[in-house]
Structure 1
Amino acid sequence: MALDYQTSQEFVTVRIAGQLCGAPVNEIREVFAPQAITPVPLARPEIAGLLNLRGRIVTVIDARIRLGLPAREADAPCMSLGLERGAELFGVLVDEVGEVLRLGQDTFEPVPAHLDPRWRALLCGVHRLETELLAILDVDRLIAADMAMAA
């Protein structure tokens, strides 16, 4: 996903294992607290399972596992970013959802070359904030493997 800055772009901020990440607002359908995730036998580790969201089946992807981070405690609270691609719904599990930030091209940097290959493949850049970096998730790449499996 190429970021398209005309003057600025809005990002939903999330925390994943302490790391501040962002996703473009226009990519997110909704944010919700996942309930009753049903595990799927023989699914890849990053697939947390399926859930029913207002009558629609949602494939739930654990962002921690996808990014190679330690698994969340079984009873730890989490939130989900709801994404829709074609007829498929996806929920990306994150530890917490923060605010929406409007950022311009002036704080944007390409993905650093020294990052783990998994991170490099799932990010489209970083923004320099006052106290930390905001890693911008490429949500299409984050769910791409799951979309291929669903087809």
Structure 2
Amino acid sequence: MIDELLLVTAIGGHRAALPAAAISSVIEIEGIEAIPLARAPVAGLTTLRSRVLTVIDCRAALGLTETAGTAREAVVIEVGGHGYALLVDEVRDVTPALSEPAAPRADPGPGWAAALVGMVETASGPVLVLDPARLAVGPGPSAASGLMAA
């Protein structure tokens, strides 16, 4: 994982990174259409260049009590042929990992366990690395091939 590029974001007051290789784009979402009876992290649907994306509220996916609300920045990924827009509070930087993933120094909370790869060092300090496929579809084996292993 050393030298792997990471997209650093903010989610619920935490610095969280996603492997840049798994990301197809970063967008600002104009509108989200609600889906009746959708599971909690699903905020709805949006479109990107005539393609429908399922919008996932990362705060809800990580078990945080406060949802993204007015967050409109999203990281676009593809899992199993389906497009997802992962709502984040803020997109901050792209930086290489300077270490292999290790256990976090502090517990970010129980909801993070399913998507957490580990903590790595970067030039701007430590960051929690998340598996974007697990954020999108829930716990289980990563559906995105080539993602770093813990």
TM-score calculated relative to the size of structure 2 = 0.81
* Counterparts of residues 120-135 of structure 1 (less than 5 Å): 120-129=113-122, 133-135=126-128
Alpha-carbon distance change, 113 to 99 in structure 1, aligned in 2, over 3 angstroms: closer
- Per the alignment, residue 83 of structure 2 pairs with 89
- 2:133 match: secondary structure: helix
The CA RMSD over aligned residues, in Å, is 2.2
* Count of residues in correspondence between the two structures: 138
Matching residue's letter, 2:5: E
- Tell me how far 1:118 sits from its aligned partner: 1.9
Distance, in Å, in 1 between the alignment partners of 2:62 and 2:39 is 13
* Counterparts of residues 18-97 of structure 1 (less than 5 Å): 18-69=13-64, 70-73=66-69, 76-97=70-91
Residue 109, structure 1, aligned to residue 105, structure 2:
no
Alpha-carbon distance change, 10 to 79 in structure 1, aligned in 2, over 3 angstroms: same
Which protein is bigger by CA-based radius of gyration? Answer: 1
Gaps of 5+ in 2: 140-150
- Tell me how far 1:112 sits from its aligned partner: 5.7
Structure that is richer in helix per residue: 1
Runs of 4+ with deviation above 6 angstroms: none
- Conserved in 2, the CA contact under 8 Å of 1:111 and 1:123? no
- Tell me how far 1:131 sits from its aligned partner: 7.0
- Conserved in 2, the CA contact under 8 Å of 1:111 and 1:124? no
TM-score calculated relative to the size of structure 1 = 0.80
